[in-house]
Structures are given as C-alpha cells and as structure tokens.
Amino acid sequence: MNLTVEALTVRYGDRTILRDLSLQPLHAGHVTSLVGPNGAGKSTLLRAVAGLLPATGQVRLGDGVLSGLSVAERARHVAYMPQTLPQDVALTVLETVIAALEASPSPAGAQRAEQRALAALERVGAQDLALKRLDRLSGGQRQIAGLAQAIVREPRVLLLDEPTSALDLRHQLEVFRLAQAYARDNAAIVVIVLHDLQAAARVSDHVVVLAQGRVRAEGAPQATITPLTLADVWQVRARVEPCQQGQIQVMVDDVL
C-alpha cells in the first residue's frame, strides 16, 4: 500500500503555496520526514493530504483516490495531528480521545470506544494522564494526548505536524520510537513535519525537503540531508558527518 501525491496545487486567495507538487510514492511501514525552512509549505502539504484544504491534483492511497472522499470517509484512513494545542478544554484526556474516536459514526460501541481510547493512551505511554483535565496539562503532555487522539482510529496514514515541538528530549525520543513502531506494526504510512534535521535523519526511512512550495530533494536521509542541500535550501554552511555509532550528525557552522 503506497501513498502517492500527484500534481498537488494549493492556493490561498491569489497566493500559490504549493505548485504542481508530486512526491515519490510513500511506502507502508515507512516513516517519512517533511523538512524545509519556515514558510516552505510543509504544514500546507500535510493538511492538503489530510483533506483539510481545497487542493487540485490527486492524492491516492493504494488504488483508491483520497482526494475525492468526503470528510467522514477520509477520516477512516487518514489522521492528522496539527501543530496547535487545544486551550481551555473542560474534558479529561480520556474523554478527548473518546471524542476523537466518536466524532464521526463508527461501528464501535461505548464500552469498546473506552477501551480503544485507553489502549491508544497506553500506546503513547500516557495512561496515567487519562483522568486528568486536558487544560491542566503542560504543553508537552497535551501534545502526547494529541498523539493518542490521532492514532486511536488506527489510521493507515498518520500525519504529524511538528509533534515534538513542546517535548523534552526524552519525550521526543519516545514519540519518534512510537512513530516508527506505529508504521511497522500497523503497516501504516507515517509522515512527520520536523525542524530538527538530525532527528529527521534518525527517525525516518525517507526524507522530503521542501522549499517555496516545491520539492528540492527526496530520498534516503543520507542522500537528502547533505551540506549541499543545507546550503541550497537553508542558506547555512554545515557539515554532515556520521558519529562513532553511525548516526548522522548535522553541525551548522555559519549562515551563508
């Protein structure tokens, strides 16, 4: 099962954010990182794939065309976790996950919904937050609760927009491992928007570099996160070297 994006164009008024954008097929079981400078169109691409923006072009999952589906139908296949965190919500974490599951009609009963929601919380390691009010949590905890809301429907395409922006080091790692485990165990396609290139190299099987609404590089981390791309796209002078353990290290020396 592949996700393919072909000739995607997104306009806001008279501004074109994405122009005729196509991607290499994204494979099931793989984690893809979407990187690029601010304003490159990363979030727009993710939201367009999620069907939250009017776009021309085609998004296909396997043989099915996603771009033609209704909001409710698409929700069965795709989950999107936005960057923003909900504020002032008088719901417990468990209630928010149940709400995400029951937002559109699904065959599961109430009992089943509660258990699925708890299982999702357990999967992100947030079971002990289940009965806490969402608006009493820290930003990082809300982000983790958001992740549970996104995976509770067990989507085949999981789109995460900067899922680690509010997280400390350890929780960042946990989320990356969760993304990898989710892709592997659910044979799912996981796409993550990231700013941290080193993290992108570490977590993903595939990297898409976006700038000004166009794809500037795509492929394996070693092939895409290079001094050349960093200079070309981010305008920085940087070294990219493997460490003793073979992990890619990105060292930025100066602006260009």
Partner 1 sequence: MRRNPIMEIPLPATDTLDVLNQHHRQRMRRRGLLAILAVACLAALALDAATGPSGMSPWRIVTGLFRPDLLTPGEAAIVWQIRLPYALTAVLVGAALALSGAEMQTVLNNPLASPFTLGVSAAAAFGASLAIVLGLGLPFLPQDAVVALNAFIFAFGSVLLLQAMARARRGGVQSIVLFGIALVFAFNALTALVQFIASQEALQQLVFWTMGSLSRSSWRSVAAMALVLAAAGPFSWAAARALTALRLGEDRAASAGVDVGRLRFLSLLRASLLSAAAVAFVGVVGFIGLVGPHIARLLVGEDHRLYLPASVLSGALLMSLASALSKSLVPGALLPVGVVTAVIGVPAFLILIFRSGARG
Binding residue for partner 1, selected from 33, 67, 141, 149, defined by CB under 8 A: 149
What is the C-alpha separation between 180 and 189, in angstroms, rounded?
10
b/e for 65-97, b at 16 or more Cβ within 10 A? ebbebeeeebbebbbbbbbebeeeeeebbbbbb
Using CB atoms within 10 A of its CB, is residue 127 exposed (0-12), middle (13-18) or buried (19+)?
Answer: middle
Least distance to partner 1, CB of residue 102, Å: 5
Structure tokens at 138: 């820290």
Candidate residues 1, 52, 137, 236; the one interacting with partner 1 per rule CB under 8 A: 52
Q: Does 80 bind partner 1 (CB under 8 A)?
A: yes
The nearer residue to partner 1, 28 or 148, going by C-beta atoms, is 148
CA distance 87 to 218: 36
Stretch of residues binding partner 1 (CB under 8 A), selected from 2-10, 28-36, 173-181, 229-237: 173-181
Rule CB under 8 A: is residue 1 a binding residue for partner 1?
no
Burial category of 23 from C-beta neighbours within 10 Å (exposed 0-12, middle 13-18, buried 19 and up): buried
Identity of residue 129: L
Residue 78 binds partner 1 (CB under 8 A): yes
Instruction: Label residue 142 exposed, middle or buried (CB < 10 Å: 0-12, 13-18, 19+).
Output: buried
If we measure between CA atoms, which residue out of 222, 211, 223 comes closest to residue 249? 222
Q: What x-and-dash track marks residues 86-125 binding partner 1 by CB under 8 A?
A: xxxxxxx-xxx--xxxxxx---------xx--x---xxxx
Part of the chain binding partner 1 (CB under 8 A), chosen from 32-40, 143-151, 200-208, 246-254: 143-151
Least Cβ distance, residue 58 to partner 1 (angstroms): 20
Identity of the residue, 99 or 236, whose beta carbon is nearer to partner 1 in the bound complex: 99
Residues of this chain that bind partner 1 (CB under 8 A): 47, 50-52, 70-72, 74-76, 78-82, 84, 86-92, 94-96, 99-104, 114-115, 118, 122-125, 127-128, 130-131, 135, 146, 149-150, 153, 170, 173-174, 177-178, 181
